[in-house]
Amino acid sequence: MSSTASRPADAAPRPSVLCLGETMALVTPREAVRLRTAETFAIKAGGAESTVAMYVADSGHVARWVSWLGDDPLGERILDELRAHGVDVSAVRRRHDAPTAVYLKDPGDGDTTVYYYRAGSAASRMDESVLRDIDWSGAAVLHVTGITAGLSESCAGMLAAVVAEARRRGVTVSFDVNYRPRLWPVETAAPRLAALAAGADIVFVGRDEAETLWGDGDAARLRSALGIAGRLVVKDGDIGATEVWSEDGIDRRAFVPANTVDVVEPVGAGDAFTGGYLVGLLEGEGPEGRLRRGHRFAARALGSTHDFVPRGAV
């Protein structure tokens, strides 16, 4: 899908969502059964930011994904998949000296265990030179997550530099906390993730991870405690999602209940929600409309063992 083929040469670029972060090769059983007994598997792109990019592109909008991958067959598979779903991957850098990371899903009865193999990966070596690869033309939203900050010190520095550049350019910064305990302990992660949240325009966090990191999952109190000037969206599993913000000096709140879904496997639903929300933002929907669209996208992911589920697939 080209973002320029149907436009005059002098037309302004269409608004785009720029997603930056790690993607791994995701190995998952084709059925929701344990790794130990599964007989058939799928290999897909698995990464919070690239999953958001695929949902945005699948909805007809321009999405770009920026990252580093190994110069290996798994990296090729990831690029092929993202291209096939309309994501611009022209800024992805390949590394000859580091591999593409891998993770595996182990689905069980109402729960999924995830195993990561990412030490020394190409993405974990990202640094501020990434800024040279980014095409900001038409960028309306930069979407990043806390996963990147936990990968390495060079990634944390890169993330801060990219967010600062987005703010300098007037690009809306979307930040999903996405706390991963296996990457770093609460004591280290909590203050760093709080600082990233305070510097974003839109912040997404699960109620459970907010309670783990900061001891409170209430949206209004959390927004105040973290000093978030923009919008905070708190996702509360199968209960619903709450958005809080200030407008004309008045604190405002919107809540939309989650869709009723027969859950096959839950991993990836949060990124699907974020993708839906950002699509609603691009299309000018209000808070309730954005939250409803987020729930609809999340329902697609919940009905599958895959992180990304195209329209009409379930």
Active site residues: 271
Q: Cα separation of 159 and 269, whole Å?
A: 24
Q: How many CA atoms lie within 13 A of 81 on its CB side?
A: 26
147 Cβ contact list (under 8 Å, min separation 6): 21, 22, 48, 178, 180, 183
Structure tokens at 239: 């209960």
Q: Cα separation of 198 and 196, whole Å?
A: 5
Structure tokens at 300: 């697609």
3-state secondary structure of 204: strand
3-state secondary structure of 276: helix
Task: State how beta strands 231-236 and 102-107 pair.
Answer: unpaired
CB burial of 244-268 (b: ≥16 within 10 Å; e: otherwise) equals bbeeeeeeeebbbebbebeebbbbb
Please check whether residue 299 is in contact with residue 280, taking contact to mean a CB–CB distance below 8 angstroms.
Answer: no
- At residue 237, what is the residue type? G
Following DSSP, what letter does each residue of 248-263 receive, concatenated?
TTEEEEEEEEPPP---
Tell me the Cα Rg of the chain.
18
C-alpha 309 chain-centroid distance:
14
Q: Cα separation of 271 and 257, whole Å?
A: 17
Q: Cα separation of 275 and 178, whole Å?
A: 14
3-state secondary structure of 304: coil
